[in-house]
Amino acid sequence: MSTRREATEEQAIRQILDRIEEDDEISQRDLAAELGVALGMVNAYMKRCVRTGLIKIQQAPRRRYKYYLTPKGFSEKSRLTAQYLRDSFGALRRGLSSFDRLYADLADNDVKRIVLCGDDEMLEMGILGALATGVEVIAVYNPLGPSHEVRGVPAADPANPPEVDRWVLAVLKNGNEALDALREVVDDRLIAMPDVLRLSLLRGNRNQG
């Protein structure tokens, strides 16, 4: 749990340092809105950045403040950015490998046509992963909101569903909610998902229990 919290904090600090480099007069309120966190949380992160020597604050007119990165701040931003890219590429590799295994299993069971269900990066991984397989992505569908075309793949209409062999869940967030919503429009026996998502849902259910 602490490792996950530390990763989230590092991501927030990286975003703060990035934005301060781009706009030295950005307000903490604007930072909070962009990061999607409470204003008090941004204030705590900013105080930490000042305390650890990553940024300095200068009074500006109209009761505003200017923030600028110190040499240590630039160095830390570079380190956090490199770590973020490594983590992102690692997640991409794991996601594509998981889809490779799923598509191989589907092909072995004579599954050729699927709808990919989701609305984030994992959906795009599923589309990319299918390109070199015998499995064709006929349409995409968002169980939790409006569906739209993704990478040239049309959106499915559950009221007039396409003829496919499986509906494949592919989400990074709100997996249980997306699965429950998908089960309302599709027979459970037609739903599949990559193993990385299945394991994530199992871990989440155990933690809730």
- Residues linked to residue 151 through DSSP beta bridges, in sequence order: none
Considering only the top CATH level, what class is 2-69?
mainly alpha
Superfamily name with CATH number, domain 89-208: NAD(P)-binding Rossmann-like Domain (3.40.50.720)
Q: Report whether 92 contacts 120 (CB < 8 A).
A: no
Instruction: Give, as one character, the DSSP assignment of residue 187.
Output: -
* Three-state DSSP state, 147: coil
Domain ranges of the chain: 2-69, 89-208
What kind and span of H or E run contains 85? helix 71-108
Q: Report whether 34 contacts 11 (CB < 8 A).
A: no
Q: Is the backbone of residue 67 left (phi > 0), alpha (psi -120 to 50) or beta?
A: beta
Would the CATH topology of 2-69 be identical to that of 89-208?
no
Residue with tokens 């049309």: 154
Specify the pLDDT at position 2.
Answer: 46
Q: Give residues with Cβ within 8 angstroms of 150, minimum separation 6.
A: 123, 124, 127, 140
pLDDT, tens digit only, all 209 positions of the chain: 445 566 678 888 888 998 998 888 888 999 888 888 888 888 999 999 999 999 998 887 766 788 989 999 999 888 887 777 677 667 778 888 899 999 999 999 999 999 999 988 889 889 988 988 889 999 999 999 999 999 899 999 888 889 999 999 999 888 899 999 999 999 999 999 999 888 777 765 554 54
How far apart CA 152 and CA 76 sit, in angstroms, is: 39
How far apart CA 116 and CA 165 sit, in angstroms, is: 11
Specify the pLDDT at position 116.
Answer: 96
